[in-house]
Amino acid sequence: MPPGFPDFRLGSVLATSFTATLTERHGDAVERIPTPQRLVEWLAVYGLDVGSCTTAQLDLARELREAIHAAATATALQETLPAPAVRVINECSTQGRAAAVLTPDGDRRWRVSGMEDALSVIAADVISLIAGVRDGKFALCASPTCRAAFFDASQSRTRRWCDMNTCGNRQKKARFNANHRKNPKTAR
């Protein structure tokens, strides 16, 4: 990653990984795609090679990101989906002409020719998640500064953290330190 930019938080679910390009939403927010080039780099990590991005396309991508976050949050809370979020997701989904292609290894790859195609793939992913096409459920991170919506596909559907290596570790460390302060004799 280029110096001066925060690392990407990568996950196995495209749509929620996309919403993780803005983290700590309820604390000191961290924008992980501050420039058009950073968005191009993030998309490339997910096999959506678009080549270039304009400032207007970055703005549209951020609008989609926030719509996905709003819809996923509503889904996690079992609330009605916000109409503006549904509109943005549907518009982005229908604008692109991305094509799924099968590799000789049996993997799916996306053939995209530009930003509209890449955003349509992300929008289609969240549509499949919300519509229940994929097995799992939306949940909200238990970290009070994060509260990211994530897709829990664990067997028990009881995940508490968007990412165990960041939010989960931070919360467990805070709890450990608080317990240490209460009972200093247990420290070794």
- Comparing 158 with 6, the larger pLDDT belongs to 158
- The answer to whether 94 and 117 have CB atoms below 8 angstroms apart is no
- The answer to whether 160 and 152 have CB atoms below 8 angstroms apart is no
Segment 78-107, tens digit of pLDDT: 999 999 999 999 999 999 999 999 999 999
> What pLDDT shows up at residue 6?
65
pTM for the structure as a whole: 0.85
**DSSP conformation class of 82:** P
Alpha carbon distance 136, 61 (integer Å)? 25
Distances in Å between the alpha carbon of 21 and those of 47, 111, 116, 187?
16, 23, 18, 38
Segment 124-171, tens digit of pLDDT: 999 999 999 998 999 998 888 888 888 998 888 888 888 766 776 666
- Which residues, at least 6 apart from 73, have a Cβ–Cβ distance to it below 8 Å? 138, 140, 147, 149
> What pLDDT shows up at residue 125?
96
Secondary structure of residue 137 in the 3-state scheme: strand
Secondary structure of residue 184 in the 3-state scheme: helix
